[in-house]
Amino acid sequence: MKKYLIQFKPFLLFIVTFFFAYIVLTLLYKLYLNSFETNDVDGVTNIVGRNVEQVIQLFNCDIRIQKNQLNPYLEVWYNEKFTVRIVEGCNAISVIILFISFVIAFSGKFKTTISYILLGSLFIYILNVIRIALLTVLLYRFPEKAHILHGVLFPLIIYGLVFILWIFWINRFSKYAK
């Protein structure tokens, strides 16, 4: 048994570190979410909504984002038509937590790790805002394609880019980079 623990130590260390970071960050995020009323939209989702509105306004498009009166989400009105809603799960925090946990599990030098986490998280956030803005316009024009756009294409893009960030991290900056 000891032989296997020694042989698989790097893998086991990765698993323990990853899950520890993931659980701690998820619990902290859950505490943050619990600080809001049941019918309230959290602060990060509100900021994402404002940023989506700003991105679409850059193209002089008619956009209005408002809090739903009865439910905890933001309504996105594009060209006077209710197009999408932005819920807490749309703010990319869960994706960022996953990204951070992975980078911590394959950490490198402290300063490099922190810098990569901050820049990578910002990149994911910006990509997510652009994703929601594009989704708004595309769902307005092609509402019948909602499943493929929201359920397949855009998750593939965001998770695919996070995967590329991980590969880049492992090969360039982690303690396992050659």
Which of 139, 39, 133, 123 lies closest to 90 in space, CA to CA? 133
- Predicted confidence at residue 173, as pLDDT, reads 87
Indicate the residue type of 9: K
* pTM attached to this predicted model: 0.93
Which of 23, 12, 156 lies closest to 98 in space, CA to CA? 23
Which of 159, 153, 158, 149 lies closest to 83 in space, CA to CA? 149
Eight-state DSSP code of residue 88: G
Per-residue pLDDT tens digits for 14-23: 999 999 999 9
Q: Indicate if the pLDDT at residue 1 is higher than 80.
A: no
Which of 150, 170, 144, 162 lies closest to 10 in space, CA to CA? 170
Per-residue pLDDT tens digits for 139-151: 999 999 999 999 9
Longest dimension (CA), the chain: 66
Per-residue pLDDT tens digits for 93-137: 999 999 999 999 998 899 999 999 999 999 999 999 999 999 999
Question: Tokens representing 174?
Answer: 């982690």
- Predicted confidence at residue 4, as pLDDT, reads 76
- Predicted confidence at residue 178, as pLDDT, reads 61
CB 74, CB 45: distance < 8 Å? yes
Q: Please, what sign has the CA dihedral across residues 133, 134, 138, 144?
A: negative
- How many other C-beta atoms are found inside a 10 Å radius of the C-beta of residue 82? 12
Mean pLDDT of 73-78: 98
- Give the DSSP H or E segment for 18: helix 9-34
Per-residue pLDDT tens digits for 22-51: 999 999 999 999 999 988 999 999 999 999
DSSP string, 98-148: HHHHHHHHT-BSHHHHHHHHHHHHHHHHHHHHHHHHHHHHHHHH-GGGHII
Which residue ranges make up each domain of the chain? Answer: 2-38+89-172
